[in-house]
Amino acid sequence: MSTVLLLIHIMIAMALVGVVLLQRSEGGALGIGGGGSGGFMTGRSAGNALTKTTAVLAASFFATSLLLSIIAVQQKPASTILPSGPGGLAPLQVPGAPAPAAPQAPTTPSAPQAPQSQ
């Protein structure tokens, strides 16, 4: 479910970028569309259609973003990305540094000796 929704989200994002680039530039010369005379959509009809399409795509983008975040929270992945237990990650080795020595077994403390009297 989340994979399908993610693919739809990506397609909506690409369509939104395309529609925004087709809109008439307000003097910044960044838009692709609306540069010359003639064309398949001219005047007010192009502005209204692109504005409505942008609004629908933006609303769809926000909706899919919210749905993806809700699905992510419900799936509750593991609290850590590091494996634990046997077969986990090895300690980090710095190149050129000597290997760390194996830990020694703890020694048992000896009983205190009584002072010797003379």
Q: What is the pLDDT of residue 72?
A: 86
Which comes out higher in pLDDT, residue 53 or 117? 53
Per-residue pLDDT tens digits for 51-87: 899 999 999 999 999 999 999 888 876 566 666 666 6
Kindly list the domain boundaries of the chain, sorted by start residue: 2-33+44-75
Say whether pLDDT at 35 is over 60: no
Q: What is the pLDDT of residue 77?
A: 61
Say whether pLDDT at 88 is over 90: no
Alpha helices in the chain (DSSP H): 2-22, 43-75
Which comes out higher in pLDDT, residue 36 or 61? 61
Give me the mean pLDDT over the 26-37 stretch: 55
pTM of the complete model: 0.52
